[in-house]
């Protein structure tokens, strides 16, 4: 079965983490991850090296904060990485880590209520061990559930995001190879269009080349989610293009697809220079990095749903705004 061994290693890690006592967390990471393990996470974690650091700095504090934490997956897939000539295998999961927010995390005060950390994770598996992970997560959404407002009101919807409309994203078993090839082709066509910003078409007609009319763009908190090509153009794509210049070429570390799903991540994906207006913030005229994961669902030959993870805390810190450092000054709901 394609990718069965790699998928099982990741699933076994998840099960072991869910059962582990706090003191055993670093040992669990060590059992499933290589000694030279490279872990990439959003600000303030950034790059961590080795199982012990990942266990002690990320997983242990999070498990201590979210009592009885559950992993609630919406997408689970694996595939060969197009970016290295389809030689490495990566396993991807996406969903939420949910628990009772009972203890401070990153300076965010607990509220004792169910709280969701939206996440997506790419794991490179080699010789029976996880050697690299990109673990991206929506900290601003976590903050908003705790009653904080890290950003001004935005154009799109802020909400706990559901999984795929078709409920078929958990691909533990094998998928037809041809379906994954179609999905990867659709993603690559969209990337080609996105990289131009000067197709000669209206934004809506450009989007119609690769997106279904009823597309859903599940964007990160601070930007939000939006539905249909028309509203996506109004509520994100149009304002984003208007608010930036000097967008660099896209650089992905991993891009893959399986079945009707696929995605990629970069470190960073691209850089761009804000000229004003993005997320209600003034122009800084300073290029910033966008660390991004995108996950897609294909319907026919078009992309129908897209879940996006952007390290907005890292981007704005580069612009001189440290959201976590000014926690006490943030408005509350």
- Residues 105 and 229 reside in one and the same domain: no
- Residues 55 and 197 reside in one and the same domain: no
Domain membership of residue 256 (yes or no) is: yes
In the block, which residue shows the tokens 């003034």?
Answer: 282
- Give the span between the Cα atoms of 272 and 281, in whole angstroms: 15
Is residue 195's pLDDT more than 60? no
Domain membership of residue 162 (yes or no) is: no
- Give the span between the Cα atoms of 306 and 294, in whole angstroms: 7
Confidence of residue 197 (pLDDT cuts 50, 70, 90): low
CATH code for the domain of 212: 3.10.450.50
Domain membership of residue 167 (yes or no) is: no
- Residues 262 and 123 reside in one and the same domain: no
Is residue 194's pLDDT more than 70? no
Burial tier of 246 (Cβ tally within 10 Å: 0-12, 13-18, 19+): exposed
Domain membership of residue 155 (yes or no) is: no
- Residues 82 and 203 reside in one and the same domain: no
Is residue 277's pLDDT more than 70? yes
- Residues 107 and 185 reside in one and the same domain: no
Domain membership of residue 59 (yes or no) is: yes
Contacts of 291 (CB under 8 A, 6+ apart): 40, 42, 136, 265, 266, 267, 268, 269, 310, 311, 314, 315
Confidence of residue 196 (pLDDT cuts 50, 70, 90): low
Q: Note the pLDDT of residue 193.
A: 78
Is residue 280's pLDDT more than 90? no
Q: Are strands 129-137 and 33-41 parallel, antiparallel or unpaired?
A: parallel
Number of domains in the chain: 2
Q: Note the pLDDT of residue 332.
A: 85
- Residues 101 and 244 reside in one and the same domain: no
Confidence of residue 199 (pLDDT cuts 50, 70, 90): low
Reference 120, options 297, 264, 260; nearest CA is 264
Q: Note the pLDDT of residue 4.
A: 97
> In this structure, what DSSP letter does residue 280 have?
G
Q: Note the pLDDT of residue 198.
A: 66
Domain membership of residue 157 (yes or no) is: no
Q: Are strands 302-310 and 211-218 parallel, antiparallel or unpaired?
A: parallel
- Residues 76 and 131 reside in one and the same domain: yes
Domain membership of residue 291 (yes or no) is: yes
Is residue 241's pLDDT more than 80? yes
- Give the span between the Cα atoms of 329 and 311, in whole angstroms: 21
In the chain, the N- to C-terminal Cα span, in Å, equals 50
pTM, full prediction: 0.96
Give residue 46's domain range: 4-145
- Residues 70 and 186 reside in one and the same domain: no
Q: Note the pLDDT of residue 212.
A: 98
What is the per-residue pLDDT across 48-97, written as a single tens digit (0 to 9) for each?
999 999 999 999 999 999 999 999 999 999 999 999 999 999 999 999 99
Question: What average pLDDT does the segment 16-33 reach?
Answer: 95
Domain membership of residue 166 (yes or no) is: no
Helix, strand or coil, per DSSP, at residue 227: strand
Is residue 324's pLDDT more than 90? yes
- Give the span between the Cα atoms of 25 and 16, in whole angstroms: 9
What is the per-residue pLDDT across 130-185, written as a single tens digit (0 to 9) for each?
999 999 999 999 999 999 999 887 778 899 999 999 999 999 999 999 999 999 99
Q: What is the mean pLDDT of the chain?
A: 94
* Measured CA distances, 160 to 115, 129, 196 (Å): 10, 32, 32
- Residues 139 and 261 reside in one and the same domain: no
- Give the span between the Cα atoms of 4 and 174, in whole angstroms: 8
Reference 186, options 149, 211, 217, 222; nearest CA is 211
């Amino acid at each position: 079965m394609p990718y069965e061994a790699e998928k099982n290693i990741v699933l076994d890690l998840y099960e072991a983490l869910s059962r582990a006592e706090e003191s055993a967390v670093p040992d669990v990471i060590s059992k499933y991850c290589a000694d030279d393990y490279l872990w990439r996470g959003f600000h303030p974690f950034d790059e961590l090296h080795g199982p012990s650091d990942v266990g002690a700095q990320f997983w242990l504090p999070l498990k201590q904060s979210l009592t009885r934490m559950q992993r609630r997956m919406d997408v689970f897939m694996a595939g060969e990485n197009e970016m290295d000539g389809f030689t490495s295998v990566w396993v991807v999961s996406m969903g939420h880590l949910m628990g009772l927010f009972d203890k401070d995390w990153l300076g965010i005060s607990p509220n004792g209520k169910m709280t969701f950390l939206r996440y997506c994770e790419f794991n490179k598996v080699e010789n029976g061990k996880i050697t690299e992970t990109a673990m991206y997560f929506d900290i601003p959404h976590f903050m908003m559930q705790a009653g904080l407002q890290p950003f001004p009101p935005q154009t799109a919807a802020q909400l706990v995001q559901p999984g795929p409309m078709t409920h078929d994203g958990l691909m533990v078993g094998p998928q037809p190879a041809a379906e994954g090839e179609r999905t990867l082709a659709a993603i690559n066509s969209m990337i080609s269009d996105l990289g131009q910003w000067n197709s000669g078409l209206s934004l809506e007609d450009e989007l119609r080349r690769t997106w279904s009319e009823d597309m859903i763009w599940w964007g990160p908190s601070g930007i939000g989610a939006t539905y249909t090509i028309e509203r996506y153009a109004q509520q994100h794509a149009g304002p984003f293009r208007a608010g930036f210049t000097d967008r660099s070429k896209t650089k992905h570390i991993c891009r893959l697809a399986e079945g009707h799903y696929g995605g990629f991540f970069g470190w960073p994906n691209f850089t761009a220079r804000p000229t004003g207006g993005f997320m209600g913030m003034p122009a800084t005229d300073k290029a910033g990095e966008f660390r991004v994961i995108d996950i897609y669902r294909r319907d026919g030959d078009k992309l129908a749903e897209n879940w996006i993870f952007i390290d907005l805390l890292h981007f704005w810190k580069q612009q001189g705004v440290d959201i976590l450092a000014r926690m006490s000054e943030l408005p509350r709901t």
